Amino acid sequence: MVVILFPDLNQLTSEFIIGIVMALIGTIITSIGDVLSLYNNNTNPVIANTIGMLSAVLFLVIYTGFKSYSYTLPQEPNFWFGLLYLAILSSFLAWLFYLKLISNIGASESGDMVAMFPAIGRGRSILMGETQISLNLIVGIVLACLGAYLALKKKEIV
C-alpha cells in the first residue's frame, strides 16, 4: 500500500494523516469483527451488516458534528445515483459477501484476501478513468497480489 500511495506522501496534510489513522482503526475494528463473527456463526449477516453500517453513519454524524461541518445535499441525479451505488453495491452488498466469505472459509483466510482490496480498488479506478497508470501503481498492485498469493499458498503447504 505504501508503494501505491508513495506519490501522495510528499503532501502530508493533516487530512491525509487523519485518513490514514481512520483507515488503520477501521482495519483493527474489522479484524475484531471477523474474529467475533467466526465465534458467533448463528448471527444473521444482514443484521450484522445493518448494525455495522448504522454504527458507521452514527460515528460520522457525531464526528462531523464535533467538527461543526454543515451538510448540503446536492440536487443532481448523478450524485444520488452514485450515492446509491456506493451505499448499496459497494458497501452493503460487498460487506455482506465478505461476511459470507468469512463463514465459508474462515476469518484467517478471508483476512488474507484483504491484501487484494487496494489492488482491486486501484484497478477499478483505472478502468473508470480516475487514476493514471504509473510505475508505483503497477508495482503496488503486483506486490498486493503477490502478498495475497503467498499468504494463501503458505496455508496450502502447511
- Tell me the pLDDT tens digit for each residue of 58-113: 988 898 889 888 888 888 988 888 888 887 877 778 777 877 777 777 766 776 67
CA-CA-CA-CA torsion sign (27, 30, 35, 36): positive
Q: Could you give the CA distance from residue 141 to residue 127 in angstroms, rounded to a whole number?
A: 14
Give the C-alpha distances (Å, rounded to integers) separating 50 from 9, 29, 63, 92, 96. 35, 16, 20, 8, 9
- DSSP annotation of 146 reads H
Note if the pTM is more than 0.75: no
Q: Which residue has the cell 508513495?
A: 6
Max intra-chain CA distance, the chain? 56
- Tell me the pLDDT tens digit for each residue of 128-142: 777 788 887 888 888
Asked if 131 contacts 122 with a C-beta cutoff of 8 angstroms, the reply is yes
Q: Could you give the CA distance from residue 158 to residue 145 in angstroms, rounded to a whole number?
A: 20
Q: Could you give the CA distance from residue 37 to residue 131 in angstroms, rounded to a whole number?
A: 35
The set of cell numbers assigned to 13 is: 496534510
Mean pLDDT, the chain, rounded, equals: 77
- Tell me the pLDDT tens digit for each residue of 9-60: 677 788 878 888 888 887 787 777 767 766 776 667 667 767 777 888 898 8
Q: Give the residue from 142, 75, 153 showing the smallest Cα distance to 109.
A: 153
Q: Could you give the CA distance from residue 108 to residue 53 in angstroms, rounded to a whole number?
A: 23
